[in-house]
């Protein structure tokens, strides 16, 4: 048991240790904090700002926010980030799906229905963060993914047989060989601690579920993890440890990393997922890029691979619509 003040010290110090032990930053780096206005990113902005001063990391910090165009959810949470900009004195940049792709999430859901929403949103947001970071000319992106998130992702990838992702999803820093690396200082921090910290410090954050998320597959992994945590809280960190220690069988075929033919973004296929999805949307083929033909990785049976290649040849023919303002 510890008192409130000691909790603050321990919480902040554990994160500082994670940053130092894993060499997350170098002095002088420009760093964009992926900020949604939610609990994790708000606490991340607050703590990183604080530690940067206290331990003299020498970082130039920015807030980077993505507007997916989800009415009643994102427009509200962006107000929170704008307040954070003032409260923490960190410059804010907002990048929108509308500007980048000419499609808002609301438009997308109208076109594809209520399934696979998170697939589109996640793929687009990942690119949007990189594009926003390029505009800000930063050296690194940090996100507020916490221990619970990472444990969920490990389980999710096991449930889906996604070996490629399973091998990467516990890395604390990713994309070091790409344009802009990103890291997760909260990798070992429990969601519960983050919420407690925010509550006691009275930090301003937005707390509503995305209106499209109830159908997300991740929800099952989350329920399970929460039940596990109740029985044995250590399970969350232990799942991460298991994930860190997975070794992929040498006979497993893994995708090779290259670049997208159209936009130059990092991709294991001829076209990156965002280009495929966007192409599907613009051609009125919402299932393009969703489902078996797009699956890659271990266990992809021969016929699946062939179908995938056929679909790719079709895709490459004529990309319509906006595919982003920046080429990589």
Annotated binding-site positions: 34-36, 40, 66, 144, 149
Q: Given the rule CB under 8 A, which of 145-153, 172-180, 260-268, 318-326 is the region that contacts another protein?
A: 145-153
Helix (H, G, I), strand (E, B) or coil at 234: coil
- Cβ pair 69, 98 in contact under 8 A: yes
- Cβ pair 150, 158 in contact under 8 A: no
Task: Give the whole-angstrom CA distance, residue 125 versus residue 274.
Answer: 9
CB atoms within 10 A of CB 289: 25
Residue with tokens 């056929």: 310
Least distance between another protein and beta carbon 194 (Å): 8
The vertex-267 CA angle with 266 and 270, nearest 5°, equals 130
From the list 125, 126, 222, 273, which residue makes contact with another protein (rule: CB under 8 A)? Answer: 222
Q: Which is nearer to another protein, 211 or 285 (CB)?
A: 211
- Contact call for residue 71 and another protein (CB under 8 A): no
- Cβ pair 271, 262 in contact under 8 A: yes
Interface pattern 227-256 for another protein (x via CB under 8 A): x-xx--------------------------
Tell me how many residues contact another protein (CB under 8 A): 30
Q: Which is nearer to another protein, 208 or 252 (CB)?
A: 208
- Contact call for residue 17 and another protein (CB under 8 A): no
Q: Given the rule CB under 8 A, which of 82-90, 109-117, 203-211, 257-265 is the region that contacts another protein?
A: 203-211
Q: Which is nearer to another protein, 161 or 200 (CB)?
A: 200
From the list 134, 195, 237, 296, which residue makes contact with another protein (rule: CB under 8 A)? Answer: 195
Interface pattern 105-144 for another protein (x via CB under 8 A): ---------------------------------------x
Q: Name the pairing type of β-strands 140-142 and 30-34.
A: parallel
The vertex-243 CA angle with 240 and 244, nearest 5°, equals 90
Dump strand ranges (E) for the chain.
30-34, 60-67, 92-96, 140-142, 173-174, 182-183, 258-259, 266-267
Q: Which residues of the chain form contacts with another protein (CB under 8 A)?
A: 1, 4, 36, 38-41, 77, 144-146, 149, 191-192, 194-196, 199-200, 207-210, 213, 222-223, 226-227, 229-230
């Amino acid at each position: 048991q510890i008192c409130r003040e000691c909790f603050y010290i321990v919480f902040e110090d554990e994160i500082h240790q994670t940053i130092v032990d894993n060499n997350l930053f170098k002095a002088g780096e420009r760093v964009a904090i992926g900020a949604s206005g939610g609990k994790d990113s708000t606490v991340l902005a607050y703590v990183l700002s604080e530690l940067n001063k206290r331990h003299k990391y020498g970082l130039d910090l920015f807030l980077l926010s993505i507007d997916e165009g989800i009415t009643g959810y994102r427009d509200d949470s962006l107000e929170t980030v704008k307040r954070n900009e003032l409260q923490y004195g960190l410059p804010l940049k907002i990048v929108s799906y509308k500007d980048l792709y000419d499609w808002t999430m609301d438009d997308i859901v109208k076109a594809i229905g209520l399934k696979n929403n998170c697939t589109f949103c996640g793929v687009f947001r990942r690119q949007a963060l990189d594009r926003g970071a390029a505009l800000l000319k930063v050296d690194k992106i940090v996100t507020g993914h916490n221990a619970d998130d990472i444990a969920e992702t490990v389980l999710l990838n096991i449930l889906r047989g996604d070996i490629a992702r399973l091998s990467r999803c516990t890395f604390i820093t990713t994309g070091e060989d790409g344009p802009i690396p990103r890291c997760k200082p909260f990798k070992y921090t429990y969601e519960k601690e983050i919420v407690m910290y925010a509550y006691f410090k009275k930090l301003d954050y937005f707390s509503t579920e995305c209106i499209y998320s109830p159908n997300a597959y991740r929800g099952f992994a989350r329920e399970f993890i929460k039940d596990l945590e109740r029985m044995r809280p250590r399970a969350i960190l232990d799942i991460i440890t298991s994930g860190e220690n997975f070794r992929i069988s040498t006979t497993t075929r893994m995708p090779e990393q290259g670049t997208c033919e159209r936009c130059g973004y990092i991709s294991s296929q001829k076209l990156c997922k965002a280009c495929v999805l966007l192409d599907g949307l613009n051609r009125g083929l919402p299932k393009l890029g969703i489902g078996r033909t797009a699956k890659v990785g271990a266990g992809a049976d021969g016929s699946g691979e062939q179908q995938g290649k056929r679909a790719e040849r079709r895709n490459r023919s004529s990309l319509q619509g906006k595919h982003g303002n920046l080429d990589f």
